[in-house]
């Protein structure tokens, strides 16, 4: 009985082993599931080449086109005037900016003028006898000689004898000595060379002013210039008189400027050329920081895209038969966010937004198709 039970149990175990063996073998022949293809949606544009304006951004501070730094060429006490010498004070052309006390120097000028008058008067009897033909004009000169006015020019000498006679008496040298003193006397008063405003005052009334001392700065507040640096590759495209758009940092106001001057030399360090932009507006002040958009060129048959769409080897992604591909392009100009390209045929479908993980051969579908200008 025991042997029978063991025999039956052995048969069952063998049968179960054979069953599970066939099960395992059968499981290896199952068909593996086919992976689902991933199709990414992309934003695209259809290329249409056009004329793209190349605009170079630049910035700088405004400086008055007409400005004068005031220096003293004489020494004396700053005398008070009708208008206080203070920053912000407006002056008309010819109005006195600074008056330096010149009493002592004025006396020396008057003394020299008096000596000249006396010297000419002393030779008048000799002129009547030796040069009667020139006596009347010298007599007229003495009659018109006024110590309170500027020294008049000497009469024109018509002969060598007259010239030798006057030069030998020291008339000519005395005259030019007086003119030199008068010229220096005029420097005790500094007048406004044009209508403008005082922007800096370094002295006040009663100050002792010394020779060569800086007194202040005077500007014309109606016309300003902004100095910007432009790459040498674009300077040949710029012309004097070119229109330039200016704006403040807040982008709240815009102004119309023009290229007034272009420097003739290139900065060896930066390889740029200095360009001066002139602008006029009552709201502008010296020192304001401005941004300029300089239109240097109109590039024909080109497109403009975001810089992050351009690959490192000067290629861009295109869509061909629902697959990504790349085409070589020719970059013309880079701005902060854009790049101007050439050699992209019309009708080419390009990506309009970057695609993370993009590669050649990736299956994609178009989300939108717009025409780029």
CA atoms within 13 A on the CB side of 163: 5
Please tell me whether residues 82 and 205 are part of one structural domain.
Answer: yes
Examine residue 352 and state whether it is found in any structural domain, yes or no.
Answer: yes
What values do phi and psi take at 239, rounded to 5? -135, 150
Please tell me whether residues 179 and 200 are part of one structural domain.
Answer: no
pLDDT attached to residue 2: 64
Overall number of domains in the chain:
4
Please tell me whether residues 108 and 181 are part of one structural domain.
Answer: yes
Please tell me whether residues 72 and 144 are part of one structural domain.
Answer: no
Q: How far apart are alpha carbons 8 and 14 in whole angstroms?
A: 10
pLDDT attached to residue 373: 40
Q: How far apart are alpha carbons 152 and 116 in whole angstroms?
A: 11
Please tell me whether residues 84 and 192 are part of one structural domain.
Answer: yes
Examine residue 120 and state whether it is found in any structural domain, yes or no.
Answer: yes
| CB neighbour list of residue 163: distance below 8 Å, 6 or more residues apart | 157
The domain in which residue 47 lies consists of: 42-51+300-371
Please tell me whether residues 96 and 193 are part of one structural domain.
Answer: yes
List per-residue pLDDT tens for the chain, 373 residues long: 666 676 676 666 776 677 666 666 555 555 555 555 667 888 888 999 998 888 888 888 999 999 999 999 999 999 887 888 999 999 999 999 999 999 889 999 999 999 999 999 998 888 888 888 888 999 999 888 988 888 999 998 888 888 888 888 899 999 999 999 999 999 999 999 999 999 999 999 888 999 999 999 999 999 999 998 888 877 777 888 888 899 988 888 999 999 999 998 888 888 888 999 999 998 899 999 999 888 877 888 899 999 899 988 889 999 988 888 999 999 888 877 888 998 889 999 998 888 888 888 888 888 754 444 4
pLDDT attached to residue 272: 87
pLDDT attached to residue 369: 47
Please tell me whether residues 193 and 182 are part of one structural domain.
Answer: no
Phi-psi domain of 294 (left: phi exceeds 0; alpha: psi -120 through 50; beta: other): beta
pLDDT attached to residue 371: 44
Domain final position from 186, 201, 231: 186
Please tell me whether residues 91 and 150 are part of one structural domain.
Answer: no
Examine residue 244 and state whether it is found in any structural domain, yes or no.
Answer: no
State the CATH number of the domain containing residue 335: 2.40.420.20
Examine residue 276 and state whether it is found in any structural domain, yes or no.
Answer: no
Please tell me whether residues 310 and 345 are part of one structural domain.
Answer: yes
pLDDT attached to residue 66: 93
Please tell me whether residues 96 and 192 are part of one structural domain.
Answer: yes
Domain final position from 168, 186, 204: 186
Q: How far apart are alpha carbons 156 and 168 in whole angstroms?
A: 16
Examine residue 250 and state whether it is found in any structural domain, yes or no.
Answer: no
């Amino acid at each position: 009985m025991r042997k029978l039970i063991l025999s039956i149990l052995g048969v069952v175990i063998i049968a179960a082993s054979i069953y599970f063996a066939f099960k395992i073998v059968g499981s290896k022949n199952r068909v593996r599931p086919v992976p689902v293809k991933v199709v990414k949606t992309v934003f695209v544009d259809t290329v249409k080449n056009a004329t793209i304006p190349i605009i170079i951004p630049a910035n700088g501070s405004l400086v008055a086109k007409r400005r004068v730094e005031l220096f003293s060429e004489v020494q004396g006490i700053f005398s008070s005037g009708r208008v206080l010498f203070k920053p912000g004070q407006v002056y008309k052309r010819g109005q006195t900016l600074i008056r330096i006390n010149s009493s002592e120097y004025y006396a020396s000028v008057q003394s020299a003028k008096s000596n000249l008058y006396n010297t000419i008067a002393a030779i008048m009897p000799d002129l009547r006898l030796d040069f009667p033909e020139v006596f009347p004009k010298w007599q007229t000169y003495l009659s018109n000689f006024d110590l309170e006015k500027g020294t008049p020019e000497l009469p024109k000498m018509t002969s060598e004898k007259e010239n030798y006679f006057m030069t030998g008496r020291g008339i000519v040298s005395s005259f030019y000595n007086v003119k030199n003193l008068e010229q220096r006397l005029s420097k005790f008063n500094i007048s406004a060379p044009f209508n403008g405003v005082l922007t800096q005052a370094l002295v006040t009334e009663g100050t002792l002013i010394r020779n060569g001392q800086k007194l202040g700065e005077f500007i014309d507040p109606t016309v300003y210039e902004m100095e910007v640096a432009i790459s040498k590759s674009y300077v040949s495209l710029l012309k004097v008189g070119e229109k330039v758009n200016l704006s403040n940092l807040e982008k709240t106001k815009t102004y119309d400027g023009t290229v007034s001057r272009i420097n003739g030399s290139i900065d060896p360090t930066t390889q740029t050329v200095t360009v001066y932009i002139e602008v006029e507006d009552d709201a502008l002040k010296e020192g304001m920081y401005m941004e300029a958009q300089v239109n240097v060129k109109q590039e024909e048959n080109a497109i403009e895209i975001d810089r992050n769409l351009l690959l490192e080897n000067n290629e861009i992604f295109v869509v061909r038969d629902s697959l990504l591909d790349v085409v070589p392009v020719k970059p013309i100009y880079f701005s902060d966010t854009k790049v101007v390209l050439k050699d992209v045929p019309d009708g080419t479908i390009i990506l309009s937004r970057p695609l993370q993980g993009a590669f050649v051969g990736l299956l994609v579908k178009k989300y939108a198709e717009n025409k780029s200008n």
